[in-house]
Amino acid sequence: MTGTRGMPTPNTPFFRRAFLRQTGKLLIAIPAVNLIACGGGSNGTTTSDTTSTDSTTDSTTDSTTDSTTTDTSSGSAESLTQDNSAVDWASGGTDSMSVEYPNPFDEGYGNVCDLTDATTEGPCYSDTVEREDISEGLDGLPTRLCFRVVDANCNPVEGATVDIWHCDTDGIYSGDGMQSVNFCTGGDADHINNDYFRGTQTTDADGVVWFSTCFPGWYSSRAVHIHFMVIINGQTYVTSQVGFEDSLVDEILTSHSVYKSRGIADTHNYDDTVFPSSGYEGFLMDTHKMSDGSMLAWKTLMVSA
């Protein structure tokens, strides 16, 4: 994967984005949270490092722009302490989501702010759409993403745009406006003429955005990952990527009906070409299996705003 970004000249969005493509070093916050899932008693939650686990509320804050997406803002959300390890991973894409998702930050998960370097943008960034459900009805493991944007003092940033993109279950990207169209789309017209698994959302007063999508597939030389940017007042403050625990990825790729035909990825986090071989854990999302077999994944992102 090629293409990097770095700190731009303030108040000049065009030159900011151009400069980012050359340098690729920014500061973001990657939260550290404690490992909850263990052995046969796992509740399907995977986390890293240490944080609070105060389950004081089941309510969620969901800032949506797509009326077709499941509303997660009611007070009947599942708790992240609920054990769903015996539940099979769901298929059918976002249409099969049937639970109320908890706000993990309200439950005390993922609230630690740590700084780390950004990663490359990669060659597959393309035009995007403001929407919450980015799946366009495609099949896969239904996955609910929750990002919280905070500033250098760990205060929530309202009004930030979070732009995400990732490949489909076969490791192929959509779109035609990227650096390497044939590499990203396989030269397939159906992929070139679509924009699935791309979208933006704007953070609410708590700095939170939600997306509904499908768990990404893989392609050679890369661990499973999701790209993102955080943009504030037209300025791109961070460009990076997030991944998932290797054991979780291997489980999905070998057992889920949509993914298992391709088998385990040829690259894991520890030998990825973008994530560092030492300290890659800081780039991983925390996850929890819901009672409907969907996945909830979350991450706090700190920007130098």
Query: Does the residue 6 lie in any domain?
Result: no
pTM of the model: 0.78
pLDDT, residue 305, reads 77
Per residue, the 3-state secondary structure of the chain, as one string, reads CCCCCCCCCCCCHHHHHHHHHHHCCCEEECCCCCCCCCHHHCCCEECCCCCCCCCCCCCCCCCCCCCCCCCCCCCCCCCCCCCCCCCCCCCCHHHHCCCCCCCCCCCCCCCCCCEEECCCCCCCCCCCCECCECCCCCCCCEEEEEEEEECCCCCECCCCEEEEECCCCCCCCCCCCCCCHHHHHCCCHHHHCCCCCEEEEECCCCCEEEEEEECCCCCCCCCCEEEEEEEECCEEEEEEEEECCHHHHHHHHHHCCCCHHHCCCCCCHHHCCCCCCCCHHHHECEEEECCCCCEEEEEEEECCC
Confidence label for 209 from pLDDT (cuts 50, 70 and 90): very high
Query: Does the residue 66 lie in any domain?
Result: no
Lowest mean pLDDT among 114-118, 121-125, 280-284: 114-118
Query: Does the residue 135 lie in any domain?
Result: yes
Average pLDDT over residues 122-126: 96
Confidence label for 236 from pLDDT (cuts 50, 70 and 90): very high
Here the tokens at position 240 are 């990076």
pLDDT, residue 73, reads 43
Here the tokens at position 136 are 């366009």
How many domains is the chain partitioned into structurally?
A: 1
The pLDDT tens digits for 252-266 are 999 999 999 999 999
Query: Does the residue 86 lie in any domain?
Result: no
Query: Does the residue 83 lie in any domain?
Result: no
pLDDT, residue 26, reads 38
The pLDDT tens digits for 175-186 are 998 989 999 999
Query: Does the residue 78 lie in any domain?
Result: no
Confidence label for 140 from pLDDT (cuts 50, 70 and 90): very high
pLDDT, residue 56, reads 36
Show the domain range for 223.
13-61+91-302
pLDDT, residue 47, reads 60
pLDDT, residue 43, reads 52
Higher pLDDT, 60 or 167: 167
Query: Does the residue 69 lie in any domain?
Result: no
What CATH number is given to the structural domain containing 102? 2.60.130.10
Query: Does the residue 264 lie in any domain?
Result: yes
